[in-house]
Amino acid sequence: MPRSHQMCQSTLPQDLLPIALRAASRVLRNRFLAEEASERALHQLTLALLQGSPPEHPKAWLKQVARRTACTMLHSEWGRTKAIGAEEIATCQAPYRRPRTGTDFVRETLGPSLPPHLQEVLQAAVSCNGTRAAARRCGLAPRDFRRRLGTISNKARAMLAHIEPTDPFADDAAVQFGLAT
C-alpha cells in the first residue's frame, strides 16, 4: 500500500482543518471567509476520499485547494461586498419609535382610575430599585406594600382582560428592518 493511502487512513480529514484554515487565511484577511474557504477545501478532500481517489500528498493538496478556494472567494460577488459607512447607515435609517414598556401602559391606562394611595404605590414600584426601597418611599412595611402592589396587579389583569392592549407608538412587528429609501 502506498504511503499516501496509509496517511489518509490514519489522519482524519477534520484533523487537517487547521492546515486548510492557515492556507486560506494567508489569502483572505477576513476570518469568516477564511473559515468558509477551509471548510470548502476540506469538503473537496472528503469527496476525493469517498470516491476512492485520495491525493498523493493530502496536506499539500489541501493547502493548494484552500488557497484556490480563497482566491475564488475573493473574486466572487460574496467576497467583494463592502461594509457600509456609519454616515450612510444614519442617512438611510428607518424611523424607529421605541415601544412603551408595560409599566408605562399600565400607568397611563390604569393609573387615573386608582385611588391616590395606590397611585403612590404604583409610582414607587416603577421608580425604585427594590421592594424595600419602594415601601420606605411610601412609608409602608414591605408586607403592606406587596399587598397593595398585588391589588394593583389584579386590577391591571382585570382591565387587560377586557381591552386589547394596542400601543399606537410601537413599531409594526411585521416590518422588522425596513430602511427608508
Quick count: other Cβ atoms within 10 Å of Cβ 41? 28
- How high is the pLDDT of residue 5? 46
Indicate the SS3 state at residue 57: coil
Residue with the bigger pLDDT between 30 and 139: it is 139
- How high is the pLDDT of residue 7? 45
Burial letters for 42-59: b for 16+ Cβ neighbours within 10 Å, e otherwise? bebbeebbeeeebbeebe
CA–CA separation, 122 and 152 (whole Å): 8
CA–CA separation, 179 and 181 (whole Å): 6
CA distances for 48 relative to 6, 44, 56, 93, 111, angstroms: 15, 6, 11, 48, 71
Quick count: other Cβ atoms within 10 Å of Cβ 66? 31
Which cell is 28 given?
483572505
Q: Against a cut of 0.75, is the pTM above it?
A: no
Percent of the chain clearing pLDDT 90 (strictly above): 27
CA–CA separation, 129 and 86 (whole Å): 36
Residue 119 has pLDDT above 50, yes or no: yes
Residue 3 has pLDDT above 50, yes or no: no
Quick count: other Cβ atoms within 10 Å of Cβ 145? 22
